[in-house]
Amino acid sequence: MKFRCERDALTEALSVAGRAVGSSSGSLGLSGIQATLTGDRLELTGSDLDLTISAQIQVSGQSDGRIVIPAKLAESIVKSLPPGAVSCSAEDDELLISSGRSEFSIRLISANEFPTLAEADDQFIELPADALVDAFRQVVTAASGDDSRPVLTGVYASNEDGGLRLVATDSYRLAMRDIPGAAEVLGSASSALIPSRALSELNRLLKRGDSVRMHMGESEARFEVPGARLSTRLLEGTFPNYRGLIPDHHPNVLTIERTALLEALKRVSLLAKDNTPVRLQMSADGLQLAAIAQDVGSAQEIVEGTYDGTDLTIAFNPQFLREGLEVAPGDHITLNTIDELKPALLRSPVAEDFLYLLMPVRVS
């Protein structure tokens, strides 16, 4: 294998593929990136068996071939080279990387060590990226990072009246987003549980204006965007019955400017480290935020807003509230509450298709 290309293009492709390379995987092959050169097309693939990401770039190819290179080392080397053209050539079990006066020779990983990845000739559904970028971002934030309950690390995608509904929850908050008319993405299945990690990685690859090709298989989902492919194993298990969690009425409604609340929350949160919650005192006068950290001090701030309901003080983990506010669409949000221990519902008056349900923190 032998090719020449621009440093920046190669760095970018190595970093994209490298994101699927497991940090502490047992197999030597999985610590590598597979490089396949066909004519002028170089494809770099990283995989941890659950998630596989390929990046394709145009190079000036001289001889085709397939090699597996150590991911981290290759990326560090290429990144550190001076800007300009980079030459790569593989001979026997070594890869020669040279640029200007720099020359590196690195040991290759045996190509047999890299897992065989199925080639896809599936039927794809095509959707504009714009419809997905926000939706993925909105739900992924609520997914769990805790592998002890694998089901909660996924985003539940289901057919809801012909639309695609995405739901994620870590059991403390739940985010839900509907994408009208997109249920065909699911293919013949009625639902799928997609690892949230795969969707965050996909979101990094999505560019507004592009289109995404998607295929949902029995046990695997595939996505293609210009210049990159991503496939992920689907999660098994039953997603919790999320419908039962969403209260059908909330007697108290706070309507407030989203960024004003977000900014105030960030300030007050400076005093809410570790387990300290932020308290929201809501009354006809509006909203007062407060954080009291026993050994550190306290902070409070009044935020203008309208409140309709009985006086209520409810406390939240500031991070969970902030993440909900960050992904909520529109200039204003409503915070709908029942009492200080029941779930609060964060919505946008202009976007019916999004909701964020948040469990409070119990304070004395």
Residue ranges that bind other proteins, judged by CB under 8 A: 146, 148, 169, 171-172, 174, 240-241, 245, 275-277, 315, 317, 341, 343, 359-364
DSSP 3-state of 134: helix
Minimum distance, C-beta of residue 339 to other proteins, in the bound complex (Å): 11
Minimum distance, C-beta of residue 357 to other proteins, in the bound complex (Å): 8
Please say which residue, 212 or 321, places its beta carbon nearer to other proteins: 321
Minimum distance, C-beta of residue 240 to other proteins, in the bound complex (Å): 4
Minimum distance, C-beta of residue 157 to other proteins, in the bound complex (Å): 18
Please say which residue, 229 or 347, places its beta carbon nearer to other proteins: 347
User: Cβ distance 55 to 44 under 8 Å?
Assistant: yes
Minimum distance, C-beta of residue 243 to other proteins, in the bound complex (Å): 12
Please say which residue, 118 or 363, places its beta carbon nearer to other proteins: 363
How far apart are alpha carbons 151 and 305 in whole angstroms? 38
Torsion angle in degrees (nearest 10) through CA of 68, 71, 77, 79: 120
User: Cβ distance 144 to 152 under 8 Å?
Assistant: yes
How far apart are alpha carbons 98 and 276 in whole angstroms? 53
Reported in sequence order, the residue ranges of 152-227 that DSSP labels E, i.e. its strands, are 154-160, 163-169, 173-179, 191-195, 211-216, 220-225
Please say which residue, 205 or 361, places its beta carbon nearer to other proteins: 361
Minimum distance, C-beta of residue 72 to other proteins, in the bound complex (Å): 32
What are 34's two structure tokens? 């597979």
- Cross-sheet strand order for the sheet of 32-38: 65-70, 32-38, 41-47, 51-58, 228-233, 220-225, 211-216, 125-128
Please say which residue, 25 or 171, places its beta carbon nearer to other proteins: 171
User: Cβ distance 173 to 357 under 8 Å?
Assistant: yes
Please say which residue, 234 or 359, places its beta carbon nearer to other proteins: 359
The number of residues in the chain equals 364
